[in-house]
């Protein structure tokens, strides 16, 4: 089960934050096909947000084919995002952790790390490597 968090100062629309968090959980494999999303009531009871916001987020996820509503039962995950690459996550994460260790040892702070990672990501997308 996923537990939503809100970043009220982020400027990102609340329903999008919920959408992103579900996708993030699907990528990391913490949500898998068949898992149930919390009901609108459960979400609003923990976050104090309008129920229509939760329904909007779920509709968006449904539109993308990631979840499906089953009348009277709730909303369930239809398909993961990670798919076959999930098995590689562990290995890639270890590599990234090693890279972060080296960068820190070289004196880079967190902002430097983000900037560097973002630049490499953007560069590889341009070259079509990603």
Partner 1 sequence: MNALEVTGLAVRRRRSWVLRDCSLAVPAGRVAALVGPNGAGKTTLMHAAVGLLAPARGGVTVRGQAAFVAQDKPLYETFTVAETLRFGRRTNDRWDEEAARRRLDRLGIPLGGRVGRLSGGQRAQVALTLALARLPDLLVLDEPLANLDPVARHDVMRSIMAEVAERGLTVLLSSHVVSDLEDTCDWLIVLNGGRLQVSGDIEDLLGGHSVLTGPAGASAAGCDVVGESRTGRQVSLLVRGGPPPDPRWNARRPGLDELVMGYLRSPASAALPAPAEVAG
Q: Which residues bind partner 1 (CB under 8 A)?
A: 6, 8, 14, 39-41, 44-54
Q: Which is nearer to partner 1, 22 or 53 (CB)?
A: 53
Residue found under tokens 């987020």: 57
Q: Which is nearer to partner 1, 20 or 41 (CB)?
A: 41
CB atoms within 10 A of CB 90: 9
Q: Which is nearer to partner 1, 4 or 22 (CB)?
A: 4
What is the rounded distance in angstroms from the CA atom of residue 76 to the CA atom of residue 88? 25
Nearest-approach distance from CB 39 to partner 1, in angstroms: 8
Q: Which is nearer to partner 1, 4 or 25 (CB)?
A: 4
Nearest-approach distance from CB 34 to partner 1, in angstroms: 24
Nearest-approach distance from CB 4 to partner 1, in angstroms: 12
Nearest-approach distance from CB 38 to partner 1, in angstroms: 11
């Amino acid at each position: 089960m996923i537990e939503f968090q809100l970043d009220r100062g982020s400027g990102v629309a609340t329903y999008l934050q919920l959408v992103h968090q579900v996708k993030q959980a699907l990528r990391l494999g913490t949500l898998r096909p068949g898992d149930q999303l919390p009901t609108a009531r459960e979400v609003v009871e923990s976050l104090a947000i309008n129920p229509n916001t939760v329904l909007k987020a779920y509709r968006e996820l449904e539109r993308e084919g990631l979840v499906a509503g089953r009348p009277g039962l709730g909303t369930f995950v239809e398909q993961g995002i990670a798919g076959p690459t999930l098995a590689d996550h562990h290995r890639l994460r270890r590599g990234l952790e090693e890279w972060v260790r080296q960068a820190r040892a070289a004196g880079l702070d967190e902002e430097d790390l983000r900037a560097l990672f973002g630049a490499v990501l953007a560069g590889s997308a341009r070259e079509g490597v990603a």
